[in-house]
A and B are shown apart, each in its own frame.
Chain A
Amino acid sequence: MSNRMHLTLKVNGEAVETLAEPRELLIHVLRERLGITGPHIGCETSHCGACTVDMDGKSVKACTIFAAQAQGAEITTIEGIGTPDSLHVLQEMFREHHGLQCGFCTPGMITRAWRLLQETPSPTEEEVRFGMAGNLCRCTGYQNIVKAVLAAANELNTVKEAAE
């Protein structure tokens, strides 16, 4: 017997409602019930970070949160950060610095980096490595990922200074 609940979330700025069992994981709700397939399922054991989304202003691993725990939360996924026609600076810098190879970890990487650069707008290389430690790249392209995040920080800060 199912015990589905009405789940109300704000996802990428839009209010959404769906039925889900409390035991469903947030990553499954996003991908299978809401069709938001940017966040990936990698290890499904809270190690790899491919499922990283932003929940109420914090980076979290959506594979280790029950749908019920997310009730009422505000979620941002890679779909809410940039679009193919209008890439976010982070996405542009990942492209420019070859910050991806197979691309599987990239949505989680960029979603985490997006929050990291709000928490620490001018990070050192060490702070980027510490802040990105929850995201694994099986192609081991870390050098260029770190370069891309640092370049994006620089770019965002330049834009901000120009605006001031």
Chain B
Amino acid sequence: MIPARFDYHRPDSVAAAVGLLQQHGDEARVVAGGHSLIPMMKLRMAAPAHLVDLQGIAALRGIEAGDRIRIGAMVTQSEMLAHAGLAEAAPILAEAARQIADPQVRNLGTVGGNVANGDPGNDLPALMLCLDATFTLEGPEGVREVAARGFYEAPYVTAREEEEILTAVGFDRPARGFAYEKQKRKIGDYATAAAAVLIGAEGGRVVSASVAMTNLADVPVFSAAAGEVLLGSDCGEDAVAAAVDAMQGDIDPVEDNRGPVEFKRHVAGVILARAIARAWSRV
């Protein structure tokens, strides 16, 4: 459980951190809360020669919760859970954050680390797909914005370039009907299946719907088809069943210690139906 040796850096600006990444290339990794990277380093599945700790960069903290919501990369899951403005503007974030790991892990685990790492088991990537968020990336060429829905390419492979740092996530204030529903074997486990759902309604009918799933493929899954099926419906039994069917066409679970494929597909269906029902009850 002893990681390989590394040199430690604690820059105080994004520019300085990017400079370190340029200087050390693929020998360097950034660390935010460390609760994804450090376990990988202990197993020596990751062995960066240079560790660039982002904790000293004040610009990466802070939450803005107006009509547009912006969350700095170093905001922890505990901070997200406790933020009154966020609870009002986008309560789906707190509902998801509550279901990530445990208090000690949430005290260090960050938004940026959770979304940038590219682990399909993480909860916030699917949530960001559901919210149609954009990620802000800063590198040697400057700042650019990337849509979350185009960010995840393969496990641990994202649209982020090696010398870029993900500095913030942003999204518009979401629809009122929301739910993040997660099935896990125990506290601290990744999801067997989880669903993020946002629904807007007028006159008893769905006018907007967004569905994304966690840990049911090698990347987080945005199911445009499931959302489309719900549009115009009253979220009744038939509509929910059709949305679950549509979602099944977008996921691609594999057998592992959380169960065989059939079981995961079954759980995914149950979880999505629950999430839609809860989101609908809140519109």
Contact = CB atoms under 8 A, between A and B. Distances in A.
Contact of A21 (B5, B41, B78): B5
Interface residues of A, number: 29
Nearest to B76: A58
Contacts of B41: 23
B39 A45 contact: yes
B172 interface: no
Given A22-B6, A60-B108, A133 B102 contact: yes
Contacts of A21: 5
Interface string B46-63: 000001010100000000
A61 interface: yes
B5 A46 contact: no
Contacts of B147: none
Interface stretch (A10-18, A66-74, A82-90): A66-74
Interface in B56-109: 78, 98, 101-105, 107-108
A134 B53 contact: no
Contacts of B39: 45-46, 64
A59 interface: yes
Interface in A5-47: 5, 21-23, 25, 44-47
Interface of B: 1-8, 10, 31, 34-35, 38-39, 41-42, 51, 53, 55, 78, 98, 101-105, 107-108, 187-188
Interface of A: 3, 5, 21-23, 25, 44-47, 49, 52, 58-61, 64-66, 68-69, 71, 112, 116, 130-134
* A-B residue pairs, 4 tightest by C-beta: A134-B102, A22-B8, A68-B8, A134-B104
